[in-house]
Structure 1
């Protein structure tokens, strides 16, 4: 099994493998180009994002944007992210339709073993992250490996999401906890 296959299967793998290093370098070059486009070069930015990631429709990611591989990221329809989105996509990241991210959102799929000997060898493993449709992620949110954020959830600014979030709730904090369900009364409420 190659290091890339181990990475995708969630097994311990060596990220400094030549194939993986080469793929990260390609991604870095594409992101360097993307982050240097002027605001009026929207078409060029869109084409580059669609080469980098699996995009189902229109999306807008305000630069700068950073990721590791790009092709492990799937984005649904009508996605918007404010500035400084970072997705460490060693594992799969699925983002649903009509999802909005505030500034400085970070999604991590890689983690490290507990045993120091394995960490000293540079080994790591991955867990996928899934964000369902109609989710709103506030600014400065960190989403850890293996997390699912279910349909219609809202994650408050500054949260660290360490576990799955149920549908149609407002959750916030470090660690992120459910505050309450979203109700019909919220139709008339603003932050």
Structure 2
């Protein structure tokens, strides 16, 4: 029999309120809490307890305080990736953030795609769609990145954008929904 966690990892529909999944979240919530409460001078770039739960986080990657995360094991950070204050990463699916990418304050990255059928949605059925953010990307504060989106290398996402579709490398996007305004030359 396939567990709800296995279904989540496979991108299949699963119930997000499952004892095994709850236990993982609680362990991550505790580590995130310690990260957020630690003095910055003692925390370093990422609190060691939180770093140990992440899929990948090189020493040069940095996560500021008031951060929120669900599973940890699905978050993969590149060298010198930077998440500013108040970021939320709902990593039910894989979230990759490339090298030297700067994520502004209060950015929200979502992987959970809730079921369209209201009965199944009411039973907390969802699926996890990955989010990929390339290298050298700049995402302005208050942006929301929706499930299944890829943002290409070198792209710039204007503050407050809602990214509903893939962003090509080097593009500049703004608005809700985010739309391309110029391409990098």
Deviations 1:96-130 (CA, angstroms, capped at 9, x unpaired): 11100110000000011111111121111110000
Q: Tell me how many residue pairs correspond in the alignment.
A: 183
Please, what TM-score do these two structures have when normalized by structure 2? 0.95
Query: Which residue of 2 is the match for residue 48 of structure 1?
Result: 49
Q: Say yes or no: does 1:137 pair with 2:139.
A: yes
- CA deviations over 1:154-188 (Å, ceiling 9, x no partner): 000000000000011111110000001112xxxxx
Q: Which runs of 5+ in 2 are unaligned?
A: none
- 2:132 and 2:149 in contact (8 A); partners too: yes
Whether the 8 Å contact between 1:57 and 1:76 is mirrored in structure 2 is no
Residue number in structure 1 paired with 2:79: 77
Matching of residue 149 in structure 1 with residue 151 in structure 2:
yes
Equivalent residues in 2 for 1:102-141, closer than 5 Å: 102-141=104-143
Compute the displacement of 1:138 (Å).
0.3
Counterpart in the other structure of 1:9: 10
**What does residue 180 of structure 2 align with?**
178
RMSD: 1.2
CA distance in 2, matches of 1:56, 1:40: 18
> What is the CA-CA distance between 1:11 and the residue it aligns to?
1.0
Distance in 2 separating the partners of 1:57 and 1:36: 20
Give the unaligned 5+ runs of structure 1.
Answer: 184-191
TM-score by length of 1: 0.92
